Amino acid sequence: MRHEVAFITGSSRGIGRAIAEEFARAGYALAINCRQSETELISLAEELKNKYRVPCLPLAGDVGDENFVEEVFTCIEQQLGHVTVLVNNAGISHIGLLSDMDLETWERIIRTNLTSVFCCCRRAIPHMVHHKYGKIINISSVWGIAGASCEVAYSASKGGVNAFTKALAKELAPSNISVNAIACGVIDTQMNQCFTEQERAALEEEIPAGRFGNAGEVASLALSLVNSSSYLTGQIISLDGGWQ
């Protein structure tokens, strides 16, 4: 039996890793990606193959580079089949005053967080349109909705992801392809290890749920979106414990 194929970017750790495991548990053939942590990525691929008995292809490189994305999709198609589910999770953050940020850092954040979404969607869409089926999930942030002081570039990139999601959903709805985004609140991953214990406690007090979210909760929501009707599309779904 042919597996459905899911491509998950930024999946060597944190939210992406949790999503990869959730989809492997559900029986998807997987292509997983990261830019730098190739050893971790290969280790995860072996773990998922052995634990869930599904194909898992590790592909290290920059998904903000259109040439790499072309190579990746060609490799996936040759080894697993066409991508039916795309999860755009690759992302980086930067904390600091905008006046102190150089153009190189700005462009790196936009390339990783937003251009990667463009490159991967553009490459995945033709096959999805041809078969009138596909699911695209973009992992975003509440800061893309509300904006965060000292995280202007990150907020701008995630705001772009949200607008991209809504616009592309309208474009692809006639082809039965859904496009949604999960706007994460504070998720307890390595990206948020910068907080001190005091800062964590103060932040938890601001969140009505009284705690940080966990990567497994994001993964569970991602899979539920894939399993939902294509009529659910163009949505920016906040997963933030009632925070924003």
User: What is the side-by-side order of every strand in the sheet holding 177-184?
Assistant: 56-60, 29-34, 5-8, 85-88, 134-141, 177-184, 236-239
What SS3 class is residue 84? coil
Strands 85-88, 5-8: pairing is parallel
> How many Å is the maximal CA-CA distance in the chain?
55
Catalytic status, residue 133: no
Instruction: Specify the amino acid at residue 134.
Output: G
The catalytic position among 28, 52, 154, 231 is 154
How many residues are present in the chain?
Answer: 244
CA distance linking residue 84 with residue 6, whole number of Å = 6
Catalytic residues: 154
